[in-house]
Structure 1
């Protein structure tokens, strides 16, 4: 087990305040039924830059992530911010990568994925970020987001937006910066899956769920090297291009959008 020492903790707040009419965010029915766990992601890099300012700018658009989740399944978008911790790892990045165990990966995370109330708040913290610095200067940037407010796909979208904010801030291209100014997420899941009034309803925590039975929990890890990732990207690109013509032909058959297609346009069209 590697020794990981937390050097500092601070709260990163949105760079601009959330408008008053967006302060109360409703969770969808799917969010209401989500178990109380954190969805984690860890990204490894050989060097790093200061990402705190782009994070604040990104949070101003993803304002529900810098909020307070209430017990009544609502989100108070009060710009409370997210916890940002910096830590030092007593080994080199290449050494850690040779033997990545579940124990080490959990140490790199800001929160216990199956824990609750990990920041001392009375409410569930929506997001945490941890910046782990290795002896060689490499880093592991980890993010945990409450499953109550986002899933894995949403987390990846947020991280991609954070990275895009950083690239735009360092880019000399005005077009790239302008593109980022136009990209805002839409939080309308509650319109598609309206929340239900469930007095007294309370989900079990992950710890309660895992300890309620005698099942043996097994974790498996799948490793793809850079050559396999390149091959997968090439295969995905070629497959998508071959499907475009077929998909366009199928869509043209319907002059009037069908109900399912209208729903697709309503939900996915806004994300493109």
Structure 2
């Protein structure tokens, strides 16, 4: 599998962050987080009459809107000060193309190698927490069949998996609003507006993060004795879980 990077740019929040919110101090919980980017990869099948360029334009605009509410994710982490400089430098957005079909990768199942999946991420897992590193980076990789993958990285010093999931859901809502022709400020009753106050609940002590030894340039799984496990859920199993959730309200 060969992945070719076509473009890289920074996406800034739709609205500027007020000066009063310029500095976001991280909490004790964040200080103790491992120094790494948290990776997530989402896969999508091909759509008729939809080009990768149009998808990317749509994603860039909706990402900009989502960053307006999750403004620290568009900043840069100042590790010497244990705070985020929320000056809207932007999230990294990478567009790439892959020379195989999506089903060829998905079909590998549990036999897929982690190195292949790393190629669908915009940067190494260890490339984080320097003044110039984006706190969120996205890579949209178009496969030969027209399907694509979205690789999303978020700095663990700022966002855990729950925060990242909330951010991606808000991004999806903004993307849906654009498709429906709604304004950024319309129909936002379901929008997530986080309270960035974790440092008030768990004041920081300026402790160094947990070093995991990841390289900033590449990921060598064998060097770190990392084990990757894949859990696959069938459609019927997912439907049963959803039905149970509905019954339990």
Is TM > 0.5 for Structure 1 vs Structure 2? yes
Match of 2:82 in 1: 73
**For structure 1, which segment, 11-20 or 46-55, has the greater mean C-alpha deviation from structure 2 after superposition?**
46-55
Deviations 1:98-131 (A, max 9, x none): 01331211110112123446xxx64443110000
Counterpart Cα distance in 2 of 1:26 and 1:66: 15
State the structure with more CA Rg: 1
From the two aligned structures, give the one with the greater helix fraction. 1
- RMSD, aligned α-carbons: 2.6
Q: How does 1:179-198 map to 2 (within 5 A)?
A: 179=188, 183-196=192-205, 198=206
Does the residue aligned with 1:17 lie in a helix, a strand or coil? coil
**For structure 1, which segment, 135-144 or 218-227, has the greater mean C-alpha deviation from structure 2 after superposition?**
218-227
Give the Å deviation of 1:183. Answer: 4.1
- Pairing partner for 2:229 from 203, 220, 230: 220
Higher relative contact order (CA 8 A, sep 6+): 2
**For structure 1, which segment, 179-188 or 104-113, has the greater mean C-alpha deviation from structure 2 after superposition?**
179-188
Counterpart Cα distance in 2 of 1:193 and 1:52: 34
Give the Å deviation of 1:215. Answer: 8.0
Q: How many residues align?
A: 230
- Pairing partner for 2:120 from 108, 116, 130: 108
Give the Å deviation of 1:180. Answer: 5.2
Q: TM-score, normalised by structure 2?
A: 0.84
Q: Return closer, same or farther for 1:79/1:181 CA change in 2, 3 Å cut-off.
A: farther
Counterpart Cα distance in 2 of 1:3 and 1:135: 11
Q: How does 1:1-272 map to 2 (within 5 A)?
A: 2-47=1-46, 49=55, 50-71=58-79, 72-99=81-108, 100-116=112-128, 122-171=131-180, 177-179=186-188, 183-196=192-205, 198=206, 201-207=207-213, 216-238=225-247, 240-241=248-249
* 8 Å Cα contact 1:127-1:145 kept in structure 2: yes
Q: TM-score, normalised by structure 1?
A: 0.77
Counterpart Cα distance in 2 of 1:167 and 1:98: 29
* 8 Å Cα contact 1:131-1:141 kept in structure 2: yes
* 8 Å Cα contact 2:128-2:135 kept in structure 1: no
Moved over 6 A (4+): 208-211
* 8 Å Cα contact 1:171-1:177 kept in structure 2: no
Does the residue aligned with 1:156 lie in a helix, a strand or coil? helix
Q: Return closer, same or farther for 1:149/1:215 CA change in 2, 3 Å cut-off.
A: closer
* 8 Å Cα contact 1:28-1:189 kept in structure 2: yes
* 8 Å Cα contact 1:85-1:129 kept in structure 2: yes
Structure 2 residue runs without a partner (length 5+): 47-51
